[in-house]
Amino acid sequence: MNGLALWDLMRGRKPSPVRATAKTRSSKRTAQQKRYDALVADMKSTWNIRIGKWRSSTSGCAWELRDQAGTVTRMIESPYPRGPVSCAIFLHEVGHHAIGFAHQRLRCMEEHLAWEWSIREMRHRGFHVTDRVLQRRAMAMRYALRKALRRGLKRVPEPLVQWLPDHVQLEQIDARG
C-alpha cells in the first residue's frame, strides 16, 4: 500500500500518490547506462566476482576470501559505473582479479597492470576513455609509486618511470627495474 502500515490505515491516513517504481525507473535508463549495466553483469559472471558494496566515492578495493576448504571468493568494492571514470575504476578493480593477485611481487606494478587492463578493456568494449580517466589513472599511479618509494623501493620497473614524482631524481634510485 505505498509504504503505509496497517496502523496508518486504522488512523485514516490515505496512501501517498504512486511513486516511480524500479520498473518505471529502469525504462528511463539511457542506452549508455544499459551498456554499463550489461558490463557489470558480464564482469561479475566472467570473473566470478561478488560485490561487497557499491561505493559512493571514486575509490575501490579488490580482494579474495578463502574458506577452510580452499574455495576462493573474489570480491570488489567500487563505484557503480555511471560514467567513464566510475567505469574505469570498476574495471580497474576487476582487473586485479583478471591479472591475478600473486602475479606481481610489487604492489605498484600490480596497480599499473590493473589500470592498463581497465583502459584496454574500456577501449575494446567501445567505452570512451576520457582525459579525466587518464588523469585519474595518473593520480593513482603517482600515489602508488610514492608509497612504494616511502616503503623502500630501490628499483623502479621501466613502465613506472613515467609516474615518478617530480622531486625524485633518477640518480637517487636505480630506475632500471
pTM for the whole structure: 0.79
> If DSSP states are collapsed to H, E and C, what string results for the chain?
CCCCCHHHHHCCCCCCCCCCCHHHHHHCCCHHHHHHHHHHHHHHHHCCEEEEEECCCCCCEEEEEECCCCCEEEEEEECCCCCHHHHHHHHHHHHHHHHCCCCCCCHHHHHHHHHHHHHHHHHHCCCCCCHHHHHHHHHHHHHHHHHHHHCCCCECCHHHHHHCCCCCCHHHCECCC
Examine the pLDDT at 6 and tell me if it is beyond 80.
no
Percentage with pLDDT > 70 across the chain: 79
Task: Kindly report, residue by residue over 64-73, the tens digit of the pLDDT.
Answer: 999 999 999 9
Task: Kindly report, residue by residue over 51-65, the tens digit of the pLDDT.
Answer: 999 999 999 999 999
Task: Kindly report, residue by residue over 86-101, the tens digit of the pLDDT.
Answer: 999 999 999 999 999 8
- What mean pLDDT is predicted for residues 91-113? 92
- What integer pLDDT is reported at residue 42 of this predicted model? 98
